[in-house]
Amino acid sequence: MSSIDPVTRDLWQVIAATDEITVGVVEATLLLDTRIALTRDSDGSPVVWLRRDEEQGDEIDPASVLDRLPAITGYGYIWTSLGNPPKELFPIPEYAESDRVNMSCGSIGIHVSAPRAVENFLDMGHFPYVHTDILGAEPHTEVKEYDVEVSEERDEVLATKCKFFQPRAALSAIDGMEVEYVYRVPHPFCAVLYKSSPEAPERRDVIAIFLQPMTEERCRAHLLQSMIDSTSTITDLRRFQQTIFGQDKPILENQFPKRLPLDPRSETPIRADKSAIAYRRWLSQKGITYGVIPVAS
């Protein structure tokens, strides 16, 4: 079994969409090679513990679980930690805006490390090839110059002024348009994307990906949408995001090595990969070793 670095151990880690967990029924999952069980108590609050002999679907009295792992709810998901997590989860302030449609869009298992999936989420160059005619289309393949910084104050990677021509940027988009993105990586295994909303151009739709590192080479992607969209149904919005993710999955599963290599000499970056390079350096500096191939010392 792989060892879990202290930074990863002390992070909040996503494990399930809150509304998919039934009160008093056991859900079993895997986090950082560790068997986890969870349920919700009568208040709806999450109860998470190290799984013993419970089986998926067993009924359980949550009050009988004494030895609990830390647990919180945030952005529609349940988060836990194997170590000592910070008091709060990273902020996504838009989530609280009253006119937004917030929804979880499903949890999708992927046979690749969590950091590889984060990097794919930050990448625009693949839009015409992987999300053909939705997020991109040949011949509009150019990734224009954009800005990247690692904010020390907020301890996150931030990419701004990312522009890309998209035939159908969102469900509510009809014509192709150049879309501006902002990406944040506020957590080693989570990323948040802001894009101009087709319905309200002055505001931004928010799409976040929270990755549950199950093993070093397997993860589950949990998706959040926080949209300005008064016409589409939640089912349609979910379906749109699942289509996008369904297109990424086979590409990610054909990536080798499955762990993200942090040695700059293991792959060949181009200018379009600025955000990925910043992300890799940030992971390296934080001392993350889980799900990555650290730079040989």
Partner 1 sequence: MTLSLTDPTWYPIASSDDLPFRHVYQGQLLGRELAVWRADDGNVNVWENRCLHRGVRLSIGVNEGGELKCQYHGWRYANRSAGCTYIPAHPADAPARRIQNRTYPVREAYGLIWSAANDDQVFQPFPGAEGNDWFPLRPMPVNAAPEDVLAALASLAPDDQPADLLPGLTLHFGDTYYFVQPVDAGRSVIRGLLSAQPDSATLRHCNETLSKLRDRVERAAAKKPAPEPLNPAFEKVSAELSTMPEIAVPRGNTLTVVVKRKWTSADGVIGFELAPRDGHLPTFQPGAHIDLHLPNGLIRQYSITNGPGDLMSYIIGVKQESASKGGSKVLVESVREGDLLSISEPRNNFPLRRDATRTVLIAGGIGITPLLSMARFLDKSSLNYELHYFTRAGDVAFRSELEALNGKVIFHTGLPREQIGSTIASALGEWSLAQHVYVCGPSAMLETVRATAASQGWPEASIHFEYFKNDKVIDNSSAFEVELARSAMTLQIPSGKTILEVMRDNGLTVPSSCEQGACGTCLTTVMEGEVDHQDVYLNDSEKRSNTCMMTCVSRAKSARLVLDI
List contacts with partner 1 (CB under 8 A). Answer: 119, 124-126, 128-130, 138-143, 250-251, 254-257, 261, 263-272, 274, 277
N- to C-terminal Cα separation, the chain: 22
Q: Quote the least distance from Cβ 243 to partner 1, whole Å.
A: 17
Sheet with 71-74, edge to edge strand ranges: 13-17, 77-80, 71-74
Rounded to a whole number of angstroms, the minimum distance from the CB of residue 181 to partner 1 is 15
Measured from the CB of residue 29, what is the shortest distance to partner 1 in angstroms? Answer: 27
Q: Which is nearer to partner 1, 91 or 261 (CB)?
A: 261
Beta strand 156-166 pairing with 177-187: antiparallel
Residue 254 Cβ vs partner 1, minimum distance, rounded to whole Å: 4
What is the per-residue DSSP string for 220-231? EEEEEEEE--SS
Q: Would you say 25 or 293 has its CB closer to partner 1? A: 293
Question: Considering beta carbons, is residue 149 or 267 the nearer one to partner 1?
Answer: 267
Residue 93 or 139: the one with the smaller Cβ distance to partner 1 is: 139
Whole-angstrom Cα Rg for the chain:
19
Q: How far is the CB of 142 from partner 1 (least distance, A)?
A: 5
Please state, in angstroms and rounded to a whole number, the distance separating the CA atoms of residues 190 and 223: 10
Shortest Cβ distance from residue 3 to partner 1 (Å)?
20
Question: Is the Cβ of residue 94 or residue 119 nearer to partner 1 in the bound state?
Answer: 119
Q: In what order do the strands lie in the sheet with 46-50?
A: 27-31, 34-40, 46-50
What token pair was written down for 107?
Answer: 């949890």
Query: Which pair of structure tokens corresponds to residue 165?
Result: 């021509």
Single out the residue of 263, 256, 257 nearest to residue 281, CA to CA: 263
Identify which of residues 97 and 133 has a Cβ nearer to partner 1 in the complex.
Answer: 133
